[in-house]
Amino acid sequence: EVQLVESGGGLVQAGGPLRLSCEASGLYLADYAIGWFRQAPGKEREEVSCISVFDGSIDYQASVKGRFTIARDNANNRVSLQMDSLKPEDSAVYYCAVVLYSCSPFIWSYDYWGKGTQVNVSS
């Protein structure tokens, strides 16, 4: 059974950091592009960042570029999202998801999803 489990969410003051982790079981993350997504109440789920397999190319949503850093740890089958200089508008449930090989602009194409971890940033 494939499982993705996110951790590291919580409450933080604006300007502070959080580090999210997504641990996989039942598959090898090295075979997959891994995306971090978020969904705030009343809003659609959106991609935050994604890292592909072959060339390791990384995408960031414009609003998080320079503040968030995605990194894969294939040896431990996990991926992290370091979030710095957090803003109240970053508050959301954060999900990790995987798709074979390359990042996709289509959320529906991701094969497996975690259940999410809540991030709240206070002003």
Mean pLDDT of the chain: 95
CA neighbor of 103 nearest in space, from 72, 75, 82, 76: 72
The confidence band for 1, taking pLDDT boundaries of 50, 70 and 90, is very high
Question: Which residues in the chain belong to E strands, given as ranges?
Answer: 3-7, 10-13, 18-25, 32-39, 46-51, 58-60, 68-73, 78-83, 92-100, 112-113, 117-122
Instruction: Give pLDDT, residue 53.
Output: 86
User: Cα–Cα distance between 78 and 8 in angstroms, integer?
Assistant: 13
Instruction: Give pLDDT, residue 45.
Output: 97
User: Cα–Cα distance between 76 and 19 in angstroms, integer?
Assistant: 16
pLDDT per position as a tens digit, 64-121 = 999 999 999 989 999 999 999 999 999 999 999 999 989 998 999 999 999 999 999 9
CA neighbor of 12 nearest in space, from 109, 61, 84, 105: 84
pLDDT per position as a tens digit, 15-67 = 999 999 999 999 999 999 999 999 999 999 999 999 998 767 899 999 999 99
Instruction: Give pLDDT, residue 101.
Output: 83
